[in-house]
Amino acid sequence: MLRDTLFTPKEEERATREGFGEGLVNAGTTDSRIVALCADLTESVKMDGFRAKFPQRFFEVGITEQAMSGLASGMAAMGYIPFMASYAMFSPGRNWEQIRTTVAYNNVPVKVVGAHAGISVGPDGATHQAIEDIAIMRMIPNMEVYVPCDAIEARAITEHIATSGKPAYLRLTREKTPLMVPDTYAWNHGKAYIMQIPKHKHGGEFMHKVGIIGCGPVIYEALLAAKELEKDGIGVTIVNMPQIKPLDTTFLLRFVKDIRLLVTLEEHQVAGGLGGAIAEFLSEHHPTKIVRVGVRDRFGQSGKVRELYEEYELTAKHIAEKIRNASM
């Protein structure tokens, strides 16, 4: 399931936060119970479209992320469906306890939107680069966790969680990244799906069968790595797993039986994120050789996006190298 224009001169780029903004307007048009709350970052988190169309249902709370959580949970208890957004370092970073207690413990349908997540925030540096947010949110009972790969998937997930009736966390990125899925993409109830299957040029089989399961825009690097590895006779199947919790364990068990090496990829700490979730499950149900690619027990730092991807070994080159070493 790849976009026709991917890897062509017509390749398109948009930020996942833009897809969220579109999805929020669509959801608000469909359901008048949808309300939006923001902590003084309306344009940055792309809530400005909703504010313009539904000014009576938009609430600017200022830099008060903890209070925003209480306000959102109270509105949810009264029958509204609140989306509350800030940078991921501040929400869920700064207001985690309020989200845990007032939202998840009460099991009310508040949607926590964490924008500018990951090291790809770039020059803002470590204080603004949330690379622990998946971990802290998936540990909370009742909370669902989503990480879209591009703007189109972000729009679809936003429209989905607006109707789910459950607490949810949606992770978004700052920079424009390639659109990978087609415009016809439809959310399939949290199912992981194969984005690319290796095709041997001569019709034979590859020496090594590798599967990469990723989340977020960094999957683009996995697709590039797969192209390089095919030259070495290493066939790589790329899987997108946009719903981290609940994990699509049915797909996971079926998938690992057909490969020799599993690689997880995320712009997040390998501890507690997608790689951690998959390793936890497989260690109990189907022990599998896993290479986890992500940030390894480090803080972020200021820099250009490509420089940071190099530094934290998230580029296609580094992914391919790790797979070659593990496949030997």
pLDDT averaged over 10-residue windows placed end to end, the chain, 328 residues: 90 97 98 97 97 98 97 98 98 98 98 97 94 98 98 98 98 97 92 88 65 98 95 93 97 94 97 97 96 97 96 98 88
Q: How far apart are CA 198 and CA 186, in angstroms?
A: 24
Q: Could you list the residue range(s) of the whole structural domain that residue 149 is in?
A: 13-178
Q: How far apart are CA 188 and CA 146, in angstroms?
A: 13
Is 2 part of any domain? no
32 shares a domain with 146: yes
Is 3 part of any domain? no
- Cβ count within 10 A of residue 274: 29
Rounded-to-10 torsion of CA 271, 273, 275, 280: 80
Burial 59-71 (b: 16+ CB within 10 A, else e): bebeeebbebbbb
Last-in-domain residue among 114, 143, 178: 178
pTM for this prediction: 0.96
172 shares a domain with 24: yes
202 shares a domain with 56: no
Res 205: pLDDT: 58
Is 7 part of any domain? no
158 shares a domain with 124: yes
**What are the DSSP E strand ranges found in 117-202?**
144-146, 168-171, 177-178, 193-196
CATH code, domain carrying 305: 3.40.50.920
Structural domain tally of the chain? 2
94 shares a domain with 28: yes
Last-in-domain residue among 178, 205, 229: 178
Is 1 part of any domain? no
153 shares a domain with 207: no
Is 310 part of any domain? yes
First vs last C-alpha separation in the chain: 30
Res 1: pLDDT: 79
Strand partners, 196: 238
Res 17: pLDDT: 98
141 shares a domain with 92: yes
Last-in-domain residue among 153, 178, 203: 178
218 shares a domain with 127: no
48 shares a domain with 165: yes
CATH code, domain carrying 40: 3.40.50.970
Is 4 part of any domain? no
22 shares a domain with 50: yes
157 shares a domain with 54: yes
Is 80 part of any domain? yes
154 shares a domain with 128: yes
